[in-house]
Structure 1
Amino acid sequence: MKVVLGTPLNAVPRPWLYFHVPAVMVNALEVKRDPRSALGFEGELWIDSGGYQILKKGLTVDVDKIAEIYRRVDAQLYFSLDVPPSPSDPLEVAEKKFEKSYKNWERLRRALGDIVVPVLHVYREEGLFLKYLRKYSDAPALAIGGAVPYVLTTRGVPRGSRELALRLISIARREFKGPIHVLGMGSPSVTPILHAMGIQSTDSATWRLKAAYGKVILPGGGERHVTSRAVSFGKAKPKDGELEELYRFLMETGFPALDGFYERIRTSFEYRALVNAWVVVKSWSQTPRAPAFRKLYLQVAAARR
């Protein structure tokens, strides 16, 4: 399974300078110059339209502006400009957003061709999801967005949201013939489930954020705070044997910078970020650590046998 690393253009560290990264994804709203040159990256480049950021920041970005950006960036994949519905949106509001996302894809497809991938959003009304899944049936690939609040059960999502989101993704995998990418679901708790469902790819930008908060990501999911500074949330410290388990995973999977591991994860943001990036990219074949995700993984794996 391909786990794509999301990154700001001016970010450090740059994991792809230390080891192979399957693909890197950047935000179209940040593209003021050649992203490959800015990143020092020659591999597979994906461009996200920034639909989620546009929503959160209350921005207005014309689809023609996105088309202009896409024309001047040499990338392997471009996501259509989407309008994400909130889990709390009434049905009529959500449907308008679904329709706007669809029309944006039609315009970008006419302008740029089949390199533009449509984004279909998870939403509590299954019928609306299925209606637009059928509209995208002739797309060469499909992205599924909006799953994060449902799978991570954030405030405002309905009871049973995790199972709902995974059911919709499973339906999409069964009915859509091309590759499917699930946006923002690159947590090691979730990637094994997506892999078991037959999903081709997902992405994560949390590898840097967790490191900045003093945390390392464990194979199979979960995060542990390893620095000495005080934190206001996510205070879980490593339990007995967890850092040793992380070290063994890195060693067994070929992580190229193990010297001084225990000291460097405590003192160096950049080193923690490299470790986190490696874990995110490499641990999709691990059984999820958390009981709830492990149960879902085993259910999905058993259903596909």
Structure 2
Amino acid sequence: MFEVRYTDLAARIGRLETPHGSVETPAFVPVVHPVRQTISPQFLKKMGFDLVITNAYITFRHYGDEARKRGIHDIIGFDGSVMTDSGGYQVLEYGSVEVEPAVMAQFEKDIKSDIPIPLDKPTGYGLPYEKASEYVRITLENCKKTLEVVGETDAVWVGPVQGAEHYDLVEHSARALDAMGYQLMALGSPVEVMEAYEFATLARMIARYKKAIPAKPIHLFGAGHPLTIPLAIALGCDMFDSASYMLYAKDDRYMQPQGTARLADLAYLPCQCPVCSSYKLDELRSLPKDQKTIEVAKHNLHVLKAEVDTCKQAIMDGRMWEYAVQKARAHPKLMEAVQLFGGSEFEFMADNTPAFKEKAIFFFDPVDQHRPEARRFRQMASAFKSAKKKLVLFPEGEVHPFYSTRGFKELAKKFPDAQVAAYNPFLGVIPAEISDVFPASHNLTSRLARKIDDYPSFTESLDAFLANNSFDEVIVVADDFMKQAKLKARVEDYHSDHVIDRL
């Protein structure tokens, strides 16, 4: 049902099978209005969108039995895969809908939705814990009733995970839906979190879900901003829907890779999509309102699709970390989320990061010490056990592996009985014997002045390496970075009668 083809961080390129064909993920899923869609679904299909989402509740209220006869694909005029929201958005906006969960479930089955969503009770953002817990309970009851009603089906039913910033409720909701047998999960209530720019909260919501259910595909409701998409993909989200392309266009908001801008504030059209290639800026601004909205919406769709495709290429190239961090620098609140990646709750990001990559990884500044490849190497080096009683530490250069350098050969000749190791602010201690292991063998570090206090992972791995060995003497060629490490005191903590010489 869901096949993963390539991975990097928690990001993955996969294939989701539905009754109307397969959908490659990560996938942006455009929202299509079932009654008055401005941009035709045929245009979306031609652009390359194989999956759209529409509102089953509005379809139910407007079409009724006609929709049961025709099916949702005919109603909206789309021959690809169709996902249907059963009214959860209306519940979030208005508090309730005039339909029972069982009736809605049967309707979604009758209209042959490929990826139907049970009628849930979204928790939103900022809800007191007791109320959020009650909404989770109602959602789980509705989801259980839904499966009882629909029985055997080819559709991929979605388990809506609620709880928002109450992370234990997110985990409880996810585990309960998984136990019911839902094949695809969807993280509910993120829109208000994203509107508040609480991206760190969003990251923790996703991380708590991934802790509970690491393998099943996950959909993120309402993620339709080009800056949010790389963060969501890096954390393992496979699909995300939004009507942002049209809502922004109605407000004359022009999407760009680094954010959005008011059309009136632009001096140029910094894009070469078919829309922007067809108009001069003044021509686009002077179009009649309805036509201008359509053209800007089409441009916005191109930007969103390009963002997803760029993320896919980054996954293929093993560059998802570099790309996600690069995009996060466009807004301080996004960087707050990325800074969390060093915490234990985000260790799952290492699980699907390849052990080896064809291209060198890049180290720029302190945040990069948390990338999975560096963490994995530090753990290996910290556990390295040497039989030798003398340690020589040498700053890593740009030639890899370390044992092939002139510096190593000179040290090995001068200290034939010593354990020789390089050191790097991001990778920690690099024993010569494992300096040909990725990424010690394949990295490029920017030459910047660094404060050791910004690299706690370095001092932690250095301490672990010293504690795991019994060196009688430690000799260090200390660069400016290592001079801050107070290495003499560190060694004496483990071997009180030993001395360090700095060459």
TM-score bracket, shorter-length normalisation: 0.7 to 0.9
CA displacement, residues 227-262 of structure 1 (integer Å, 9 cap, x when unaligned): 5xxxxxxxxx23x66x32xx14x3xxxx58732253
Say if 2:67 is the partner of 1:26.
no
Contiguous gaps of at least 5 residues in structure 1:
155-160, 228-236
Match of 1:8 in 2: 33
Say if 2:295 is the partner of 1:271.
yes
Q: What is the alpha-carbon distance in structure 1 between the residues aligned to residue 235 and residue 250 of structure 2?
A: 32
Could you tell me whether the CA contact under 8 Å between 1:173 and 1:199 is conserved in 2?
Answer: no
Distance 1:304 1:23, change over 3 A: farther
Query: Considering only CA atoms, is the larger Rg found in Structure 1 or Structure 2?
Result: 2
Could you tell me whether the CA contact under 8 Å between 2:120 and 2:160 is conserved in 1?
Answer: yes
Distance 1:83 1:304, change over 3 A: farther
Could you tell me whether the CA contact under 8 Å between 1:77 and 1:115 is conserved in 2?
Answer: yes
One-letter identity of the residue aligned with 1:153: A
Say if 2:217 is the partner of 1:179.
yes
Q: What is the alpha-carbon distance in structure 2 between the residues aligned to residue 270 and residue 35 of structure 1?
A: 24
What is the 5 A alignment of 1:105-116?
105-113=143-151, 115-116=156-157
Q: What is the alpha-carbon distance in structure 2 between the residues aligned to residue 261 and residue 106 of structure 1?
A: 54
What is the 5 A alignment of 1:134-173?
134-138=175-179, 139-153=182-196, 161-173=198-210
Q: CA RMSD in A?
A: 2.5
Say if 2:254 is the partner of 1:216.
yes
Distance 1:88 1:16, change over 3 A: closer
Could you tell me whether the CA contact under 8 Å between 1:152 and 1:162 is conserved in 2?
Answer: no
1:297 offset after TM fit, Å?
A: 4.7
Could you tell me whether the CA contact under 8 Å between 1:23 and 1:46 is conserved in 2?
Answer: yes
2:54 partner SS: strand
Could you tell me whether the CA contact under 8 Å between 1:18 and 1:256 is conserved in 2?
Answer: no
1:65 offset after TM fit, Å?
A: 2.0
Please, which of 36, 42, 48 is the counterpart of residue 73 of structure 2?
36
What is the 5 A alignment of 1:244-255?
244=270, 247-248=271-272, 250=273, 255=274
* Identity score, percent: 20
Could you tell me whether the CA contact under 8 Å between 1:54 and 1:61 is conserved in 2?
Answer: no
Match of 1:233 in 2: none
1:181 offset after TM fit, Å?
A: 0.6
1:197 offset after TM fit, Å?
A: 1.1
Q: What is the alpha-carbon distance in structure 1 between the residues aligned to residue 234 and residue 100 of structure 2?
A: 37
Higher alpha-carbon deviation: 37-46 or 101-110: 37-46
One-letter identity of the residue aligned with 1:208: M
CA displacement, residues 87-134 of structure 1 (integer Å, 9 cap, x when unaligned): 333222211110110011111112225732111124333222222222
Distance 1:264 1:30, change over 3 A: farther
One-letter identity of the residue aligned with 1:13: I
Match of 1:126 in 2: 167
Could you tell me whether the CA contact under 8 Å between 1:117 and 1:143 is conserved in 2?
Answer: yes
TM-score by length of 1: 0.82
Match of 2:423 in 1: none
One-letter identity of the residue aligned with 2:199: R
Contiguous gaps of at least 5 residues in structure 2:
1-25, 312-322, 342-348, 350-369, 374-503
Could you tell me whether the CA contact under 8 Å between 1:54 and 1:60 is conserved in 2?
Answer: no
Could you tell me whether the CA contact under 8 Å between 1:196 and 1:304 is conserved in 2?
Answer: no
Distance 1:294 1:44, change over 3 A: farther
Match of 1:48 in 2: 85
Could you tell me whether the CA contact under 8 Å between 2:223 and 2:229 is conserved in 1?
Answer: yes
1:265 offset after TM fit, Å?
A: 3.7
Please, which of 267, 273, 277 is the counterpart of residue 258 of structure 1?
277
1:17 offset after TM fit, Å?
A: 5.5
More strand by share: 2
Say if 2:92 is the partner of 1:73.
no
Distance 1:149 1:21, change over 3 A: same
Which structure would you say has the larger RCO, counting Cα contacts within 8 Å and 6 or more residues apart? 1
Distance 1:295 1:95, change over 3 A: closer
1:299 offset after TM fit, Å?
A: 6.1
Q: What is the alpha-carbon distance in structure 2 between the residues aligned to residue 115 and residue 150 of structure 1?
A: 27
TM-score by length of 2: 0.51
1:78 offset after TM fit, Å?
A: 0.7
2:137 partner SS: helix
1:273 offset after TM fit, Å?
A: 0.9
Match of 1:290 in 2: 331
